[in-house]
Structure 1
Amino acid sequence: MIDTLFHIIDNIFFFCIALSGIYLFIFALAALFRHSGKYPITEKRHRFALLVPSETDIKNLEYPKDLYTVLTYSDLLQAVRELDEKEYNITVILGETAHVSPLLLQDINNAYDAGAVAMQLHHIIECRPTRKIHWQAIHEEIRNSIFRQGHVQCTLSSALDKMDIAIDSKWLKQNLKSPKSNLESRLLQQNIFIEYLSDAHVYSNSPRPRPYSMSKWKAVSKLPATLMEGNWDYADKLFRQFIPSWKVLLFICSICCVIVTCYNWTLSPRWWLLLFGLLFTVCMAIPDYLVEKKKK
């Protein structure tokens, strides 16, 4: 009886973790095949509003100075409400920033002119003096690889934060109603694709706060109707709510490896292979610039 129960629980756990691992592996692999400069350079220039925290100073942008305005904010919602959407085509929202890539606005302009309405920029933690911050930088880049670059390579929308983003000004004013407004969900529910601009770099010295996460019960209630509508981008976002983080997956898989090996080692090889597969997936998602040469 105990042996049968153990086998049932073992199979359920293995199936759930393996399914999550395959999901992460597919997008981590796809992220390796990114294409730079996917949007052609356009001669048309759009007007930008750059919303930045009061302590941030943006310099050295290679874009006509009369076509962008840097506006500081202490309350982002109020700043968006006061924004004149008739004057600016695109609103760029940045968090606390050390500097940005000189061609940031040009990259956004090219994508916007090609039809992109919402774009997630590439945030990079530039100064990594401690192991903790270095680890946080790795964590952010793994998320960038799997949930952003990997997704757009598979023609799915990128994950979207509330900072380091560029969105059509008119749409932003109509949809940012409160500090808890989930812009990603609203974009996907309206079938608007979210692009990821991997070459549009935003540098800071600290990680960004994690975005608002939808409750699992809410995701369950929305998923069937979303699938019936054929809205695969939003269905993917809802499915992501059930996928544990890669750290949790590694922890659970490691514990299961030890337990299964101690109970019945003949059942353990698949668990050890799964653990190796998860580690391999995580390694694929880490960019080279964050890997120390002696550990590469």
Structure 2
Amino acid sequence: MIQNILHILFFILFIYFAINTLYFFIASVAAKLYRPKAYQPNPSKKRIAVLIPSYKEDHIIVNTARKAAEHDYPASHFKVYIAADQLQPATIAQLRAIPHVEVLEVQFEIGSKARSLNKLLNWIPESAYDVAIILDADNIMKAGCLEKVNAAFQRGFRAVQSHRIAKNRNTPVAILDAMSEEINNMIFRKGQRALGFSSNTIGSGMAFEFHKIKEIYNKPGILGNPACDREVDFEIMKAGICIEFIDDAYVLDEKVSSKEVFEKQRTRWLESQIIHLRLFFDKKGGPIPKTKDYWNKLFCNLAPPRLIFLASYFLVFALFVLEYFTGFSILSPSYAWWFGLTAMYGLTFVIAIPGNFYSLQTAKAIAHIPLLILSVIRGIFKMNVDRKEFVHTPKAFTQDN
């Protein structure tokens, strides 16, 4: 009896894993074969507001602001706006001394990215800009980024996600975080566009029509949502707007360097995924068009984090060893099916990981994966989906090339 129940449970688990693994595999292969649109500088220029919320990031925000202000886009058509939340007076003075940078000092009872962006978007004259691009306080736009964003909007796109890449690979955790980012870029951005879906956003390096993103950040409830980036993605989907992914519009982003910060960040991401998932079933915001992007994004949000997937495959291997030595059958279907599925899962990431990660340094970093799996598992028990404050990830790395 117990054996039959275990067989049924593991068969259901196998089907669930197989569907998700096959989806990831198809998206990864599609991304590999896909040739993205080439965006060359367009003589017509959109007016772009670069929005950077900063919370207690005195040590990096000046460098970020300076690099953004020096970006190679016509100075008459863009400006950098910073929401300074609890920055030191000396830092604010330095920021205001940078040409082409405007600073809005903000203060909240409960600080959050959403509240800072809301203040910025309502402070900036809406008629002055066509596009708003959102950066984190550690982000550096590489040369040509805004030109490519502009070219995409000139072609009729109303939302764009740039290609965020690692600023640092200074520790094993940072290497794995950088690799994870690139896997996400392949599967959930480039792969989505290859399959005809809208790209997923990341949280920074994303650009929208100014009036539309202002409308979203003025929605009731979003200011208290620590997963505001996910809500933006959802609202863009509801509006029927396709998000383009520009593969060669690069934005440098700091990767977490320690297991402690990794755990904190993944806890926030787990909470965000559940909050995002709730939106698909929330009828308070009005009817939700059941488009192909709706079903695709819903499916993606039902998938557990990759490290949980990996931990489950380790568990299956351990159960196979237990079966071998005890003779008590647990798995269904047989281990051959499970090993085949595990091989497909591994091949998916072999395809998705860029070639520059194949190095001895990466091989050494992979040894830290079990510890990161434990971090994600601990994060599951620390989740608070009713949290109102934004869980801030500390930034410290200032090198930008």
TM-score (norm 1): 0.89
- Residue 17 of structure 1 corresponds to 17
Counterparts of 2:280 and 2:294 in 1: how far apart (Å)? 12
Measured at CA, do residues 199 and 217 of structure 1 come closer, stay the same or move farther in structure 2, by a change above 3 Å?
closer
Report how far residue 220 of structure 1 moved: 6.8
- Residue 339 of structure 2 corresponds to 272
User: After superposition, what is the alpha-carbon deviation per residue over 1:208-267, rounded to whole angstroms, capped at 9, x for unaligned?
Assistant: 9666324487367369xx9x9541112211122211122211211221233145144892
Counterparts of 2:51 and 2:72 in 1: how far apart (Å)? 18
Alignment of 1:116-127 (within 5 A): 116-127=157-168
Alignment of 1:205-284 (within 5 A): 205-206=254-255, 212-215=272-275, 218=278, 221=281, 229-261=289-321, 262=323, 263-264=328-329, 267-284=334-351
Alignment of 1:87-166 (within 5 A): 87-97=128-138, 99-166=140-207
Q: 1:288 aligns with which of 355, 376, 379?
A: 355
In structure 2, what residue type is equivalent to 1:198? D
Pair 1:45-2:45 in alignment: yes
Measured at CA, do residues 260 and 5 of structure 1 come closer, stay the same or move farther in structure 2, by a change above 3 Å?
farther
In structure 1, what residue type is equivalent to 2:79? T
Pair 1:63-2:73 in alignment: yes
In structure 2, what residue type is equivalent to 1:132? V
In structure 1, what residue type is equivalent to 2:242? F
Measured at CA, do residues 10 and 199 of structure 1 come closer, stay the same or move farther in structure 2, by a change above 3 Å?
same
Task: Work out whether residues 107 and 200 of structure 1, in 8 Å CA contact, stay in contact via their aligned partners in 2.
Answer: yes
Counterparts of 2:204 and 2:158 in 1: how far apart (Å)? 16
Report how far residue 196 of structure 1 moved: 1.1
User: After superposition, what is the alpha-carbon deviation per residue over 1:48-73, rounded to whole angstroms, capped at 9, x for unaligned?
Assistant: 11112443222542221111111122
Pair 1:73-2:83 in alignment: yes
Q: 2:123 aligns with which of 55, 58, 82?
A: 82
SS in 1 for 2:128: coil
- Residue 251 of structure 2 corresponds to 202
Report how far residue 122 of structure 1 moved: 1.3
Task: Work out whether residues 47 and 68 of structure 1, in 8 Å CA contact, stay in contact via their aligned partners in 2.
Answer: yes
- Residue 188 of structure 1 corresponds to 237
Counterparts of 2:217 and 2:341 in 1: how far apart (Å)? 42
Alignment of 1:167-182 (within 5 A): 167-177=208-218, 178-179=222-223, 180=225, 181=228, 182=231
Measured at CA, do residues 170 and 295 of structure 1 come closer, stay the same or move farther in structure 2, by a change above 3 Å?
closer
User: After superposition, what is the alpha-carbon deviation per residue over 1:6-46, rounded to whole angstroms, capped at 9, x for unaligned?
Assistant: 32122111111111111111111111123244345432111
TM-score (norm 2): 0.67
Task: Work out whether residues 39 and 151 of structure 2, in 8 Å CA contact, stay in contact via their aligned partners in 1.
Answer: yes
Counterparts of 1:249 and 1:235 in 2: how far apart (Å)? 22
Counterparts of 1:192 and 1:40 in 2: how far apart (Å)? 22
Counterparts of 1:156 and 1:36 in 2: how far apart (Å)? 13
Report how far residue 175 of structure 1 moved: 1.2
Runs of at least 5 residues in structure 1 that lack an aligned partner in the other structure: none
Task: Work out whether residues 17 and 253 of structure 1, in 8 Å CA contact, stay in contact via their aligned partners in 2.
Answer: no
Measured at CA, do residues 295 and 238 of structure 1 come closer, stay the same or move farther in structure 2, by a change above 3 Å?
closer
Runs of at least 5 residues in structure 2 that lack an aligned partner in the other structure: 55-60, 85-115, 257-261, 364-401
Report how far residue 204 of structure 1 moved: 3.0
Task: Work out whether residues 20 and 244 of structure 1, in 8 Å CA contact, stay in contact via their aligned partners in 2.
Answer: no
Report how far residue 166 of structure 1 moved: 0.7
Task: Work out whether residues 39 and 114 of structure 1, in 8 Å CA contact, stay in contact via their aligned partners in 2.
Answer: no
Counterparts of 1:294 and 1:78 in 2: how far apart (Å)? 43
Task: Work out whether residues 29 and 351 of structure 2, in 8 Å CA contact, stay in contact via their aligned partners in 1.
Answer: yes
Measured at CA, do residues 243 and 204 of structure 1 come closer, stay the same or move farther in structure 2, by a change above 3 Å?
closer
